[in-house]
Amino acid sequence: MTNVVATTAGIDRSAPLAAADTIARIGPNAATQVLAAFRIGGEQGEALAKQVFTTAGVAEWLHHPPAAMVDERLVGRIHRAVRAALSPEAAARLLAEAGRLTANYLLAWRIPRPARIALTCLPPRPAAACLLPAIRRHAWTFAGSGQFTSHAGPPAVFTLTGNPLCAGERSGVPLCAWHAAVFERLFQQLVSSRAHVSETECEARGDGACRFIVDWRGRRTPPYRRRR
């Protein structure tokens, strides 16, 4: 990629990217579903997407979205550009929608139907215990160079240290709406419709890691969920 000497909205693009064999990569959905979330907003969303992806230095992805693992720093630039372009509330909503779209993609294309059926037939606690090892095995697709750990619970606790999607940011509140929404959607569909995810610690806030609490207790189950 051409070296561009520019710093826009806090996005530093002045340094050349590392050689291909040293790049830490992350799944393309962390970028492509952000674009999809923008496009739900029609022409206004399309204009914002153009602004964000251009600021992040990946304007070509507007027309040719990546289909394979990508440099985590490019995706981090997109998420930072979203937060720079929108209000904190609007950015959180947009990234949460991108997270839900990512989870929907995983449910449709990456989790075999027999596994989905088996999980929804289990009570929540054993379903969560079965789902967690699969999340850990595939953590590199959403954590990049970060380190992911989990505790079964309930509540389940996910910890991501060195989160590339909030690297270098400073905020008074947790920022990782995309990760939280991915986890919440997966647990709602595969473990319990009561599942709720909250980010209680965030590296952007100065905490040692990004920590997500996944709980499925104490909330009323909507009438359409859980087959027995």
Q: Is 200 exposed, middle or buried (0-12, 13-18, 19+ CB in 10 A)?
A: exposed
Residue-wise over 33-51: b if at least 16 C-beta within 10 A, else e? Answer: bbbbbbeeeeeebeebbeb
Question: pLDDT by residue (tens digit) across 92-117?
Answer: 999 999 999 999 999 999 999 999 99
Q: How far is CA 173 from CA 92, 198, 206, in A?
A: 11, 12, 10
In a domain, 221, yes or no: no
Question: Model confidence over 211-224: pLDDT tens digits?
Answer: 999 999 975 444 33
Residue 220 phi, psi dihedral angles, 5° rounding: -70, 135
Domain count, the chain: 1
Is 38 a domain residue? yes
Q: Is residue 222 part of a domain?
A: no
With 0-12 / 13-18 / 19 or more C-beta atoms within 10 angstroms meaning exposed / middle / buried, residue 196 is middle
pLDDT digits (tens, 9 = 90+) for 143-202: 999 999 999 989 999 999 999 999 999 999 999 999 999 999 999 999 999 999 999 999
Q: Domain holding 199: CATH number?
A: 3.90.1520.10
Phi-psi region of 9 (alpha: psi -120 to 50; beta: other; left: phi over 0): left
**Quick check: 19 pLDDT over 50?**
no
> Could you tell me the residue range of the domain that residue 207 belongs to?
7-215
